[in-house]
Amino acid sequence: MSASKNGALPFPWRFRIVLGMLGLLALVLIGQLVNLQVIRQDFLNNQGDARALRTEAIPAHRGMIVDRNGEPLAISAPVETLWAEPKILGEYPDHWGDLAKALDTPEDELGRRIKVNGSKEFMYLRRQMTPSDAAKVMALGIPGVYSRKEYRRFYPAGEVTSHVVGFTNVDGRGQEGIELEFNDWLEGHTGEKEVLRDRLGRTIKDLKLIKQSRPGQDLALTIDLRLQYLAYQALKGIVAENGAKAGTMVVLDPQNGEVLAMVNQPAYNPNNRVDVSSSSLRNRALTDMFEPGSTMKPLTISAGMLTNTITPDTKIDTHPGTLRITYKTIRDHRDYGVLDITGIITHSSNVGAAKISMMLPQDALYQTFHNFGIGVNPGTGFPGEQAGDLPHYGPKQVLQQATTSYGYGLTVTPAQLARAYVPFANGGRLFPVSLVRTNQPPQAVQVIPADTAHSILKMLETVTETGTATRSRVPGYKLGGKTGTVHKVGPNGYEADHYFSVFAGVAPISDPRVVAAIFIDDPQGGEYYGGAVAAPVFGRFVAGAMRLLKVPPDDLEKLRKLQGDKS
């Protein structure tokens, strides 16, 4: 194109249009720059921060549970949890195979999860891995894969303390036992911090602390782990030997009501609950209720002595070994003839106990049982703890009063039964049952006079010496206790061939250090009496417990005689 003769450009209007458009475009660019750098500066900064700044959790470990001597029962071990940002990981499908292999996960399953969560910014890959295993995965350097510290609950004593301690879920919240009841006390509080990340999600720098993490508080139980092991071994052995369905043992300190041991069979491993049945999770010592049978006879004797109806020298004629009341015949094992009160305990006479109950003032039996904690919540605060059932019978319900006197027609938990024997071991004082150690002294209630408690304790000694519980004897120590054998209740009433074998005991007689209650559910080994099945559990436990507690023998004469016979 050439200029015209007079020097003007051809088509000047086109040139002006182009210049105008270029000028307009420049103005638009300038306006957009002003908009972005001045007017919308805060918005853009926020958008940039949203892609680079992140809030991360600062994990806090759960408080430790320990026994009365500081031995750990539940601790929190550091672990690593692997997670991913599907948006980023989805851009690198060539790494999925290596990641799946490292996680021991099928590659197609991992790929499916990444695609399903493709629009999200978070996806778990594997929870609670050991730090060494997690480090191997992170060493692959796969974009969008991260690791964060968590804590996993571990129970050093395993199934031995499982029913008391309980367990937590994968997120560290209590699900059973003490872990559940004291979750708020044990649970740590997670903190938060602000971090700077690059486009691949890698943390470049910690910027600021938003909220400080706070670890959970430790909790000390009254359990003595040494005694817990002894009780567990003794109970497990007897349950296995007798082919029993289940078993429970509770051991209390008679001076304060603290639980020294509490074990159940069947048990479970809280560190591996893959195949655990719901029935194995129950702490039967506090949640299951049973008819206690003849273990209630010492309480019936207490009612008689408290009301001055009987004295230790009172004679009761149990001949001919049966007693007819309305439509039911109460029976003894045999005809014991005339018995004093000690004899009724020694031989476990149902007829004798029933006759005493019929001599008592109205409501005396109910009130005494109630004062001993029967039908009353033991006070541990344990999840699912039961109070049992103590019916109140009217003056015309003579049969019901009679059967109550020897432990039928009412229900107790094993913890309640153990608690009811505490007054016989400490001069007549009843304490609430406690599982957690505190600095506050327990409040005791005097339920029977000290001399009455001592008299009944001496009666209980005869049961282990010459009565129904001779299999509980421990050389060198004087023990006391009471057996019980109870028909189980089925769909059609009491079953003829299924029993609960029961024993409640005190050791040693001279200075009681332990009180225990044992229930064995449906023994199938050919024997089912409380003296043959439940009482030996107490003997096995006491033999080890006295050594551990450094309790000197209080029956040296018989010990020397036994040693002389062996030599």
Which residues carry out catalysis?
294
CB atoms within 10 A of CB 385: 19
State both tokens at 404: 């109550």
State both tokens at 27: 């103005």
**CA geometry: angle 289, 245, 487, nearest 5 deg:** 55
State both tokens at 205: 């720098």
Secondary structure in 3-state letters for 486-519: EEEEECCEEEEEEEEEEEEEEECCCCCCEEEEEE
- 465 and 517 Cβ atoms separated by less than 8 Å: no
65-66 vs 219-220, strand pairing mode: parallel
- CA–CA separation, 41 vs 35, rounded Å? 8
- Where helices occur in 523-567 by DSSP H, the ranges are 530-533, 535-548, 556-566
50-53 CB contacts, 8 Å cutoff, 24+ apart: 51/199, 52/196, 52/197, 52/198, 53/194, 53/195, 53/196, 53/197, 53/207
- 89 and 145 Cβ atoms separated by less than 8 Å: yes
Torsion of the alpha carbons at 276, 279, 281 and 284, rounded to the nearest 10: -150
Secondary structure in 3-state letters for 123-180: EEEEEEECHHHHHHHHCCCCCCEEEEEEEEEECCCHHHCHHHHCEECCCCCEEEHHHH
Helix (H, G, I), strand (E, B) or coil at 190: coil
- CA–CA separation, 449 vs 515, rounded Å? 19
Computed over its alpha carbons, how large is the radius of gyration of the chain? 37
- CA–CA separation, 78 vs 154, rounded Å? 10
Point out which residues pair with 211 in neighbouring strands. 192
Helix (DSSP H) and strand (DSSP E) numbers for the chain: 22, 21
Nearest to 349 by CA among 388, 317, 381: 317
State both tokens at 215: 């670890």
What sign has the CA pseudo-torsion 46, 47, 48, 53?
Answer: positive
Task: Determine if the peptide bond prior to 266 is cis (ω within 30°).
Answer: yes
State both tokens at 156: 């050093």
Report the phi/psi class of residue 16: left, alpha or beta, with left for phi > 0 and alpha for psi in -120 to 50.
alpha
- 414 and 305 Cβ atoms separated by less than 8 Å: no
From residue 3, alpha-carbon distances to 7, 8, 9, 12, 471 in Å are 6, 6, 5, 11, 131
Q: What is the DSSP string of 231-248?
A: HHHHHHHHHHHTT-SEEE
